[in-house]
């Protein structure tokens, strides 16, 4: 007996089969995430973490705690890269957060703490 169900996208599909819309979403996610594997992103990520003194800015500013959990530090996009792909490499749109704070903020378009990024210190002498 063939049992049909309705996918979240609204299409009718067989109960034991994957809807074609799921493949499209996977490709979009993959395309969005490829930017995070580029040399340009890795370099910017390290610069952002260095600029923010190697600790989570939300824990520091909001809770007064210096959280520098090494491999747990992530660079959060203040304006989500899903909605604002043109801001992915914009330094002023990035802030260092621990994994927990990054998950709590999610893709909101604002921070829940007062953050003012410091300019990068240049290593060049003119």
| All structural domains of the chain with their residue ranges | 20-105
Predicted confidence at residue 3, as pLDDT, reads: 84
Complete DSSP assignment for 25-58: HHHHHHHHHHGGGSHHHHHHHHHHHHHTTTS-HH
State yes or no: pLDDT of 8 exceeds 80: no
DSSP code at position 78? S
d(C-alpha 90, C-alpha 79), whole Å: 10
List beta partners, residue 14: 4
Predicted confidence at residue 124, as pLDDT, reads: 47
For 44-61, write each residue's pLDDT tens digit: 999 999 999 999 999 999
d(C-alpha 76, C-alpha 110), whole Å: 11
Alpha carbon dihedral 114, 79, 70, 67, in 10-degree steps, equals 20
Whether the full predicted model's pTM is greater than 0.85, yes or no, is no
State yes or no: pLDDT of 33 exceeds 80: no
d(C-alpha 113, C-alpha 110), whole Å: 9
For 67-94, write each residue's pLDDT tens digit: 887 678 999 999 999 899 999 999 999 9
Predicted confidence at residue 25, as pLDDT, reads: 53
């Amino acid at each position: 007996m063939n049992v049909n169900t309705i996918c979240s996208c609204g299409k009718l599909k067989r109960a034991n089969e994957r809807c074609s819309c799921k493949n499209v979403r996977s490709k979009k996610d993959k395309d969005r995430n490829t930017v995070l594997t580029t040399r340009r992103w890795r370099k910017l990520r390290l610069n952002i973490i260095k600029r923010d003194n190697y600790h989570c800015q939300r824990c520091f500013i909001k809770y007064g705690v210096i959280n520098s959990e090494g491999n747990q530090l992530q660079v959060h996009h203040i304006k989500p890269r899903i909605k604002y792909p043109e801001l992915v490499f914009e330094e002023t749109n990035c802030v260092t957060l621990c994994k927990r704070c990054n998950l709590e903020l999610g893709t909101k378009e604002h921070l829940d703490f007062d953050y003012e990024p410091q300019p990068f210190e240049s290593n060049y002498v003119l």
